[in-house]
Chains A and B, each alone.
Chain A
Amino acid sequence: MDRSQHQRLDSIRRGQSELDNHLIDEFLGGYISRREFVRKGTVLGLGLPTLGAILAACGSTTSSTGGGALKKGGKMTVAIITPSGAIDPLKVSDEGGLAVLGQAGEYLAFSDKDLKLVPVLAESWQANSDGSVWTFKIRQGVKFNDGTPMTAKDVAFTVNLHADPANGSNARSVFKGVLSKGNTTAPDDTTVKFQLDAPNGNFPYLVSSDNYNLIILPSSYTGGYESSFIGTGPWKKTSFTTGQGVSYVQNPNYWDKSALNLDSLDLKFYADDQPRILALQGGTADVISQFSASVGQALLGNPNITVLALRSSAHRQIHMRTDKEPFTDKNVRQAMGLVLNRQQLVTQLLNGQSDLGNDSPFAPVFPSTDTSVAQRAQDVTQAKQLVTTAGKSGATVRLDTWNGYEIPQLAQLVKAGAAQAGINITLNVTDAGTYYGDAVFGKSPWLDSVMGITDYGHRGVPNVFLGAPLLSSGPWNSAHFKNTQYDDLVAKYVAAIDSATQRNLAGQIERLLLDQTPIIFPYFYKHMSASKTTVGSIEPTAMGHISLKTAGFKA
């Protein structure tokens, strides 16, 4: 959006109520679609002329590229991030790799951009009364791209493959303590039963596209994914070149073939943001799956390009060792949270493409987040007072982090803020390998430093963020935060099935973490992707998936 659009929008905004402006924010954030915006807007009483004016002022930033009939046929070129290693469903752990897995492969369910689960290979699912046993009904008539039929046995095989520690699957970090090997069974061809280690109310997310390694493989699978690209997905591989790209045509055996528009698809790998953005500007690529708001400013105001900004739970954590001076006193930790001007951070570092964090993992995007908990705002006077009362004024602390994304700039701003409250921070910015070290306590600046900044990717549910970095037993607990009341609340939250209970517990956790502040969550930044305006119906997710099932070119 350019300056004049901003000004026009601001003048419209001034006349509206807070609720209306919230809706405008949601629409600008890409959280709701154009259609949903208009629907909710009319419910709130915004007249159609006003809605039209807002839409016009918002220019090209919409939440989906839908709208306008798509023609059948054509070949789309999509620039994605170069996968960091071999394409192996067990080993992929990066955005580029998972974007590739999602083309020839499919999941039981797809976690869409609003974090709703859309059934794919599963048609429905339900839990027993306490959420410890989940039963999934598997879609019938689905075939793998080599022609063999897919049944519940293949699903059970795939899940057990990932749950077995001997296979070294990346998905184990999700399944650990939730689902053990052998506890997924297929009593018949249409049913899969998951016997969990402990009750889990969000379990379906853990076998959806959120657990991106879990594309369903045939029970005959023995490895060698790169030569077969075996799966039930809409696209069948024709050629793959390591480090360069994959070409696909329609999968002739696809179960939902009538939904497909494109004849063929080219994924091109780009290692860096800048070339990816240039490829879209120069016309080499029709779609780019991801770019960072700080680099891609040029795309935001370009009338030939549609930018899709998705709210996400991806964030940075600023941890403070609760067992090390000067952070043993929670007042000092609170003070560090109070010195930050979050709105300004987001504007400076991320071109404003972000939600604010409230020092808990409950990102505004999660439906279970209790949004009635007040947002922590900058208050330097109070921060100074808290530090003085704690007797820690003039204390010096080292902040460790690594040189990537906007992290070094964030570290500078944290340092400047802390200085205002009387805490001197010295920075130690290394490369990622040094900062993460061996990723175990005692051998990793990430886990051992008194203060540090760590990057966390998007998750569809907050379970991982609530557990590993904050539970007393958490393997990534850099803050060395140990609080039994917190541990209890999280156990209850994880087991809760209905959303009212989840939201209630979320509120309690949010308040406890605001009081304790072991970790500052400054912001949850948006996932940005973009396409030519001639492209329609691509569906990116904040996780990094890009569903091209219904994608096509406008007629």
Chain B
Amino acid sequence: MGRFLLRRFGLALVTLWLLSIIVFVAAHVFPGDVGRRILGPFADPAAVASLNHQLGTDQPILSQYWSWLSGAVTGHLGTSLNYRDSVASLLGRAIGNSAKLGVVAFVLVVPLGILGGIVAALNRDRFLDRFITVAGLSAAVIPEFVWAIVVIILFGVVLRVLPVTAQAPEGSGVLTQLEYLILPAIALVLVLFGYIARITRAGMIEALDADYTRTAALKGLSWATVIRRHVLRNALLPTVAVVASQTGYLIGGLVVIELIFNYPGIGYLLFTAAQKKDFPLLQGGVMFVGLVYLTATLLADIAYSLLNPRIRYGSAE
């Protein structure tokens, strides 16, 4: 287990480094320079040149990358070119917000999705199964921006029971913040529920049909014990992988949801950073989102191995 983790950790570092190069190159192949992006097409060329000089974006590309990398390894993420504010503080705020929304959505959708999948599998081919599968899939194929608008108009504008923006007023308590986060979380639940439920259902059905389940039932165990000890343990393996892959999305990929709910999270921050060619901010943010993805996958691997002895014992050899 220790060696396994160490190897994964080393691979993660290499992945992050490659990611930084990809982001850097991608940011520099877009046409237009930073000063022009910030000041707009109608600014005086002299003003653009002077801004580029102030920002250091007139330096050779390699030296720009080097100054970022040498700062980053010592924990200095630099200053945002566009906002003239420290990248660490900009990211810190956005990450905090994204994490709040991500956690609320996660806590709602994961148990709901798994429960839905289990109920569907246990009622296989009956009305409840059809209903959960069809409703879940139908909700999932409707894009998140449509759901966002639908829930806003329904709960925020027509019924007026929930706020239409996700950002609670400054200094609000936990409950108020939750109230503000419910609508975007509902939109995310609608998008993700069908996916998680379907994967769980498939895993459940496979496990229910397996020989070991029949054996367990035949040797006289109660149905609840069979489900808990034999079916769920095996059925949830693919679900864990899917949930892990959605965690990165929940933290860093909610550009559209953040835009519609006017929520200052990391997705929208990175989107504008890319538009403005704000390299330090973009790089810092992408590194963070990459880190979340890698951590989530690593945690999934660990959870996987705890659920599946074959992996656990295999890596310990």
Contact = CB atoms under 8 A, between A and B. Distances in A.
A84 B33 CA distance: 16
Given A272-B260, A436-B36, A439-B36, A283 B160 contact: yes
B32 A437 contact: yes
Contacts of A169: 47
Interface in A220-258: 226, 239, 241-244
Contacts of A170: 39, 43-44, 47
Interface stretch (A5-13, A88-96, A98-106, A523-531): A88-96
A438 B41 CA distance: 8
Contacts, number: 139
A293 B10 CA distance: 54
Interface residues of B, number: 48
B262 A271 contact: yes
A86 B84 contact: yes
A88 B44 contact: no
Contact of B163 (A168, A176, A282): A282
Contacts of B115: none
A283 B157 CA distance: 8
Contact of A165 (B33, B47, B275): B47
B32 A284 contact: no
B163 A86 contact: no
A486 interface: no
B71 interface: no
A85 B85 contact: no
A446 B41 contact: yes
Interface stretch (A16-24, A273-281, A380-388): A273-281
A34 interface: no
A494 B112 CA distance: 69
Contacts of B51: 91, 168
A278 B31 contact: no
A173 B50 contact: no
Given A282-B157, A282-B164, A446-B41, A271 B47 contact: no
A242 B149 CA distance: 26
A440 interface: yes
B90 interface: yes
Contacts of A281: 156-157, 164
Contact of B170 (A85, A239, A439): A239
A94 B40 contact: yes
Interface residues of A, number: 48
A396 interface: no
Contacts of B160: 282-283
Nearest to A90: B47
Contact of A282 (B45, B156, B259): B156
A272 B259 contact: yes
A169 B38 CA distance: 12
Contact of B43 (A167, A173, A434): A173
Per DSSP, chain A at the interface is: loop
A172 B46 CA distance: 9
A279 B47 contact: no
Most buried by B among A167, A274, A433, A476: A433
Contact of A93 (B40, B152, B153): B40
A440 B31 CA distance: 13
A284 B262 CA distance: 11
Contact of A173 (B42, B83, B163, B259): B42
Contacts of A278: 149, 152-153, 156-157, 164, 260
Contact of B32 (A94, A436, A468): A436
A274 B157 CA distance: 13
Contacts of A274: 149, 260
Given A168-B54, A243-B269, A282-B164, A84 B36 contact: no
B31 A437 contact: yes
Interface in B171-207: none
7 closest Cβ pairs, A-B complex: A282-B164, A168-B50, A436-B41, A86-B84, A282-B156, A168-B47, A433-B32
Interface of A: 84-86, 88, 91, 93-94, 165-170, 172-173, 176, 226, 239, 241-244, 268-272, 274-276, 278-279, 281-284, 432-434, 436-440, 446, 468, 475-476
12 contacts: A84-B82, A165-B50, A167-B50, A168-B51, A275-B259, A278-B149, A282-B152, A282-B156, A433-B275, A434-B32, A438-B32, A439-B36
Given A170-B43, A433-B37, 20 more contacts: A91-B38, A94-B40, A167-B50, A168-B46, A168-B51, A172-B46, A173-B42, A268-B165, A272-B262, A278-B152, A278-B153, A278-B164, A281-B164, A282-B165, A432-B41, A433-B275, A436-B32, A438-B36, A439-B45, A475-B45
Interface of B: 30-33, 36-51, 54, 82-85, 90, 93, 149, 152-153, 156-157, 160, 163-165, 167, 170, 259-262, 264, 268-269, 272, 275-276
